[in-house]
């Protein structure tokens, strides 16, 4: 079946370095993508989103890149800080009447080392 998945289950990054988290998706009907950050014991926190008519979107210290040709999504975090340690999920939403029926990947654990 079609799914959302992540390439790396764990990413270790040194404080101050840039982080790149990757996500592969296979549903060509997906129209909307979101990155969430989840800290232990908390719900997912919205980071940034991108629609399928865009290739890149920037936020504060974060950039999301969408490559529809290879069905690939990435999240770049600039100058990674200890507070960025968390699990990061990508989620995709279909271009159908099922608005908001997001499908999540399994997540990537980001560990920031001093």
Identify each DSSP E strand in the chain by its residue range.
4-6, 10-14, 19-25, 30-38, 45-51, 56-58, 62-67, 72-77, 86-94, 103-104, 108-113
Nearer CB in complex with other proteins: 7/101: 101
**Closest CB 27 distance from other proteins, rounded Å:** 13
Nearer CB in complex with other proteins: 91/110: 91
Nearer CB in complex with other proteins: 21/36: 36
**Closest CB 94 distance from other proteins, rounded Å:** 8
**Closest CB 33 distance from other proteins, rounded Å:** 9
Nearer CB in complex with other proteins: 44/80: 44
CB distance 5 to 23 below 8 Å: yes
**58 three-class SS:** strand
Contacting positions for other proteins (CB under 8 A):
4, 31-32, 34, 36, 41-46, 49, 51, 89, 91, 93, 98-107
Cβ neighbours for 44, distance < 8 A, ≥ 6 positions apart: 36, 37, 38, 89
**Closest CB 113 distance from other proteins, rounded Å:** 21
Give me 82's structure tokens.
């200890």
């Amino acid at each position: 079946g079609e799914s959302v998945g992540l390439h790396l289950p764990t990413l270790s990054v040194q404080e101050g370095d840039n982080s790149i988290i990757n996500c592969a998706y296979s549903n060509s009907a997906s129209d909307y993508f979101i990155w969430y950050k989840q800290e232990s014991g908390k719900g997912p926190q919205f980071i940034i989103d991108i629609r399928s008519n865009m290739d890149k979107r920037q936020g504060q210290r974060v950039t999301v890149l969408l490559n529809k040709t290879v069905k690939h999504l990435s999240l770049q975090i600039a100058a990674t800080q200890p507070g960025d340690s968390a699990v990061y999920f990508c989620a995709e939403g279909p271009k159908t009447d099922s608005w908001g029926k997001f499908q999540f990947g399994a997540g990537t654990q980001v560990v920031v080392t001093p």
